[in-house]
C-alpha cells in the first residue's frame, strides 16, 4: 500500500513538468521526515528540504535520506541565492502559514515573505507545486492572493473534487511567462468533466434535475441527504444500507 | 550540509539582501560520503556555482584537488566533473557554524543541519 504522502508527491512531481530524463535541483518546503524527499531521490533528483520542527528533521536523519536538510521557518523567507532551484514542491505544509503562532505574526505578511523569497530562488520559468489543505475558501484565497502579489502566475488544480476523502488541492505556481494549467483528476473516465466553472448563457431549470428521480428510490434518498448536508444539517453518513429495499412488511 | 548547498545559501536577516552571501563557514566536524556520480547533474550545476565562495569554503575545510575555475568544454571533461562532484556532493559538514558576512549573525550547524531560524527582530516582517 503506497503511502498517501508518496502518492501526493508523485502527483506534485507530475504537475511540476520537469524536463524528461534530466536530474533537477529541487526545494522541498515542509519536508518533515523526508517521505516526499525519498520519492524525489527515487526519480533521480537532488533536493534540499526545509522544516521548522527539529524532531521531524531528526527523524529524517535516522531514515538516512539523500537530500540536505535545513531547520527554518518558511514564513521568514527561503534563505537562498536567486535562481538556485529548478523547481519546488511542498506536501501538506503551506496551510500552516495561515496559523498565527505568536501574537506578532500576521499570516498575510508571512505568506508574502514566503512567496516573494520563493519567487526569487527559483530559476526563471520554473514551477512550484504546493499541495495543501485549506481550511476554507477564504484561506485559499488569502494564499493565492499573496502568491500573485509576489509575481507568480498559475492556479489551483483540484483532484477528485466530488469526493470528500480523495479531494486534494495543488497550488501550481509559475515564475515565468504564463503556462497552461493542467486539469485536475476526476472520477469520470472520459475526462470530459470540467474541473473549473463554466459560464454559459443557457440556464438549466432546477426542477429538471429532479424529474428523473422516482420518489423514495435509493437515488432520491441519497439526493435528499446531500441536500440536507448542503443546508448544514446533521446527516448520518451514507453506507451500503442507505435506501436499501426493506421487507414488504416494513 | 553539502558544499553545493552552502554555495547557494544566503542570509535572510532583515536589511542584508544580496550582501548576505557568502556565509562564512567554520567546521569542527566533516565527513566524506560516497555519492553516485551523475555527470549530467554536475555539469548543469557548474554555471550556478559561485567560485570564489566555493574556493573559500574548500580552503577552510582544507580540501585538496579543488579546480580553481571551470575549464573550457567542462561538460565533457570527466576528470573535472568528478573532482567537482566530490567537492560539491561528497563532502558534508556535520558540526560547525555559518556566519552572515553583513550582520555577523551566526547560524549553528548540528548533525549536518544548519539552523536558519531568525528571531523576531531579524525577520523581514
- State the greatest distance between any 2 C-alpha atoms of chain A, in Å, as a whole number: 76
Is residue B31 domain-resident? yes
> What residue ranges in A103-245 does DSSP mark as E strands?
122-132, 153-159, 168-174
Distances (CA, A) of A148 to A103, A145, A167, B26, B53: 26, 5, 24, 39, 33
Is residue B18 domain-resident? yes
Cell reading at A183: 486539469
Say what the pLDDT of residue A189 is.
44
Positions of chain B with pLDDT lower than 50, given as ranges: 125
Tell me which chain B residues have a C-beta less than 8 angstroms from the C-beta of A113: 123-125
Say what the pLDDT of residue A186 is.
79
Say what the pLDDT of residue A199 is.
60
CATH number of the structural domain spanning residue B72: 2.20.25.10
Distances (CA, A) of A112 to A7, A120, B95: 28, 12, 33
Whether chain B has a CB inside 8 Å of the CB on A101: the answer is no
Residue range(s) defining the domain that contains residue B72: 3-117
> What residue ranges in A24-147 does DSSP mark as E strands?
25-29, 46-51, 68-71, 85-91, 122-132
> Cα separation of A224 and A28, whole Å?
44
Number of domains in chain B: 1
Mean pLDDT per 10-residue interval, chain A, length 250 residues: 85 91 93 92 94 94 91 93 94 89 82 94 93 90 92 91 88 84 70 51 57 75 89 89 83
Per DSSP bridges, beta strands A168-174 and B113-114 are unpaired
Is residue B123 domain-resident? no
Is residue B103 domain-resident? yes
Confidence (pTM): 0.79
Is residue B79 domain-resident? yes
Would the CB atoms of B120 and A81 count as touching at under 8 Å?
A: no
CA angle A196, A74, A25 (to 5 degrees): 80
Of A96, A139, A136, A138, the residue nearest A114 (C-alpha): A96
Is residue B64 domain-resident? yes
Q: pLDDT for A181-206, tens place per residue?
A: 888 887 654 444 445 555 656 565 55
Say what the pLDDT of residue A161 is.
87
Say what the pLDDT of residue B42 is.
92
Is residue B124 domain-resident? no
Would the CB atoms of B10 and A104 count as touching at under 8 Å?
A: no
Cell reading at B44: 548543469
Is residue B125 domain-resident? no
Instruction: Count helices and strands (H / E) in chain A.
Output: 7, 7
Residue of chain B with shortest Cα separation from A107: B125
Say what the pLDDT of residue A209 is.
58
Ordered strands of the B91-99 beta sheet: B24-32, B91-99, B106-110, B113-114
Looking at residue A102, the DSSP 8-state letter turns out to be S
Whether chain B has a CB inside 8 Å of the CB on A163: the answer is no
Amino acid at each position: 500500500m503506497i503511502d498517501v504522502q508518496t502518492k501526493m508527491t508523485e502527483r506534485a512531481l507530475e504537475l511540476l513538468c520537469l524536463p524528461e530524463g534530466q536530474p533537477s535541483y529541487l526545494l522541498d518546503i515542509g519536508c518533515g521526515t523526508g517521505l516526499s524527499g525519498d520519492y524525489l531521490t527515487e526519480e533521480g533528483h537532488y533536493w534540499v528540504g526545509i522544516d521548522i520542527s527539529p524532531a521531524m528533521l531528526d527523524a529524517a536523519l535516522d531514515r538516512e535520506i539523500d537530500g540536505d536538510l535545513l531547520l527554518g521557518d518558511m514564513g521568514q523567507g527561503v534563505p537562498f541565492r536567486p535562481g538556485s532551484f529548478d523547481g519546488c514542491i511542498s506536501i501538506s505544509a503551506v496551510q500552516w502559514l495561515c496559523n498565527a503562532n505568536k501574537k506578532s505574526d500576521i499570516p498575510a505578511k508571512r505568506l508574502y515573505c514566503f512567496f516573494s523569497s520563493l519567487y526569487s530562488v527559483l530559476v526563471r520559468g520554473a514551477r512550484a507545486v504546493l499541495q495543501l489543505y485549506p481550511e476554507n475558501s477564504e484561506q485559499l484565497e488569502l494564499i493565492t492572493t499573496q502568491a500573485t502579489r509576489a509575481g507568480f502566475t498559475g492556479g489551483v488544480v483540484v483532484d477528485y473534487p466530488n469526493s470528500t476523502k480523495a479531494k486534494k488541492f495543488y497550488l501550481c505556481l509559475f515564475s515565468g511567462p504564463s503556462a497552461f494549467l493542467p486539469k485536475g483528476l476526476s472520477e469520470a473516465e472520459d475526462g470530459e468533466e470540467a474541473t473549473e466553472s463554466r459560464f454559459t448563457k443557457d440556464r438549466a431549470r432546477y426542477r429538471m434535475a429532479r424529474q428523473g428521480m422516482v420518489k423514495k428510490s435509493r437515488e432520491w434518498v441519497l439526493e435528499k441527504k446531500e441536500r440536507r448536508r448542503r443546508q448544514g444539517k446533521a446527516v448520518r453518513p451514507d453506507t451500503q444500507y442507505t435506501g436499501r429495499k426493506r421487507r414488504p412488511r416494513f | 550540509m553539502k558544499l553545493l548547498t552552502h554555495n547557494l545559501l544566503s542570509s535572510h536577516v532583515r536589511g542584508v539582501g544580496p550582501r548576505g552571501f557568502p556565509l562564512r563557514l567554520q567546521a569542527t566536524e566533516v565527513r566524506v560520503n560516497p555519492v553516485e556520480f551523475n555527470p549530467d547533474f554536475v555539469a548543469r550545476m557548474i554555471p550556478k556555482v559561485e567560485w570564489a565562495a566555493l574556493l573559500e569554503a574548500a580552503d577552510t575545510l582544507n580540501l585538496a584537488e579543488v579546480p580553481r575555475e571551470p575549464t573550457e568544454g567542462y561538460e565533457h571533461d570527466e576528470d573535472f566533473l568528478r573532482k567537482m562532484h566530490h567537492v560539491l556532493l561528497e563532502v558534508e559538514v556535520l558540526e560547525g557554524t555559518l556566519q552572515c558576512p553583513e550582520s555577523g549573525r551566526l547560524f549553528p550547524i548540528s548533525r549536518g543541519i544548519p539552523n536558519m531560524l531568525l528571531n523576531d527582530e531579524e525577520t523581514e516582517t
